[in-house]
Amino acid sequence: MVIAERILERIVVTRDAAGTRALAGALAAAARPGDLISLVGDLGAGKTQFAKGFGAALGITDTIVSPSFVLMAEYRGRLPLFHVDLYRLADAADALAGGLIDDRQTEGVTLVEWAERLADALPAERLDVLIDGAGDDPRRITLRPGHHDYVRYLELVPETAETAAAAETAEADR
């Protein structure tokens, strides 16, 4: 017997930082306590812009800045937002020791910049936001649920969003 799991991903193109913030803001309506969103992209790709838009839509009025010199910043909104930046992380063990996995995160949404630095320590139950592009170029943003539970985010991509050809990923367990 073959159990095939097909999870759709969506690709959205944003033309400027406001477009990336607006996309994130629309997605934030799907946020539930305990959610994990990994933000992956080069320096200046727009990970922090995404976090700003997401946070604003959660009702956070404090200014969300890159938490580069602390591992995790916490903001109060409709749900608490935990904003993690692993750019300066030496290794994954440091993140875990530094409190990345914190009980309070079950009550809020965690956004992790440079999440790929955690490698296998990153839980599979998450939404990946892969941002491709730099400078003034448009960003190609791939939204990829790592688990069925995160497909709800894809349903909130605005109708008006410029989407690139939707790709399907298929994983088969035998």
Of 26, 81, 84, 113, the one binding ligand ATP (CB under 6 A) is 113
Tell me how far the alpha carbon of residue 39 is from its chain's centroid: 4
Distances (CA, A) of 48 to 40, 62, 74: 11, 14, 14
Which residue, 46 or 108, has its beta carbon nearer to Mg ion?
Answer: 46
Of 25, 40, 47, 84, the one binding ligand ATP (CB under 6 A) is 47
CA nearest neighbour of 165 among 7, 8, 6: 8
Phi/psi of residue 138, nearest 5 degrees? -60, 155
Q: Which stretch binds ligand ATP (CB under 6 A): 8-16, 70-78, 103-111, 118-126?
A: 8-16
Contact between 66 and ligand ATP by CB under 6 A: the answer reads yes
Contact between 38 and ligand ATP by CB under 6 A: the answer reads no
Of 17, 66, 94, 156, the one binding Mg ion (CB under 5 A) is 66
Contact between 53 and ligand ATP by CB under 6 A: the answer reads no
Distances (CA, A) of 108 to 105, 117, 151: 5, 22, 18
Of 60, 139, 143, 154, the one binding ligand ATP (CB under 6 A) is 139
Which residue, 36 or 112, has its beta carbon nearer to ligand ATP?
Answer: 112
The whole-angstrom separation of Cα 37 and Cα 145 is 9
Which residue, 33 or 44, has its beta carbon nearer to ligand ATP?
Answer: 44
Q: Which residues touch 156 (CB under 8 Å, ≥6 apart)?
A: 26, 27, 29, 30
Which residue, 5 or 62, has its beta carbon nearer to ligand ATP?
Answer: 62
Torsion of CA 105, 150, 154, 171, to 10 degrees: 140
Q: Which residues form the interface with ligand ATP (CB under 6 A)?
A: 14-17, 19-20, 41, 43-49, 66, 87, 113, 136, 138-139
